[in-house]
A = this chain, B = another copy of it.
Amino acid sequence: MITILRIGHRPERDKRITTHVALTARAFGANEILVDYPDKELEKNFESTCQRWGGDLKIRTGVKWRQVLKEFNGQVVHLTMYGETLEKAMEVIDATQDIMVIVGAEKVPREVYEQATINVGVGNQPHSEVAALGVFLYSLFEGKMPEFNDGQMKIIPNPRGKTVESK
């Protein structure tokens, strides 16, 4: 079970970035998405994506992240440019056990660095929490991306155009 915990979400500024975080989480194999700020529109849009394209992921916004973190019983991975290299982190993290991945927006409180099982820097450069999450999950699952067969639509890979199967 992989849970993504998005903290520091600012509804105006981060709206689209958090949407990208949620869709990336789904596409690369996470099971649950928690966002600290209440955002019903994000929930609705994400649930609609799952209906159309498949997957039984849960999304909850407006969660109390400190409490969530306290109650979580598993490996906590905080993605930050300052963290341990991805390579080293992969030696420590067990992909078969429960993982909570914390994806921060701008400033992340010090206690997150302290409470995480490991802080992981995907590249140790300033880039994007969206890319960091995608590459982290891709690496964690050794390049295996999930297939979704319970949606209303499904893409058939096409090197030249668009093929979509509708049910």
Contact = CB atoms under 8 A, between A and B. Distances in A.
Interface of A: 13, 16-17, 20-21, 23-24, 26-28, 49, 53, 81-88, 113-114, 118-119, 121-128, 130-135, 138-139, 143, 145, 148, 155, 157-164
A123 B119 CA distance: 26
Given A128-B24, A130-B128, A113 B17 contact: no
B125 A27 contact: yes
Nearest to A28: B123
A15 to B, nearest CB: 9
B157 A83 contact: yes
Copies in the complex: 2
Most buried by B among A82, A84, A139, A157: A157
B83 A159 contact: yes
B123 A84 contact: no
A83 B158 contact: yes
Given A81-B155, A157-B121, A127 B27 contact: yes
Contacts of A157: 82-85, 88, 121, 124
A127 B26 contact: yes
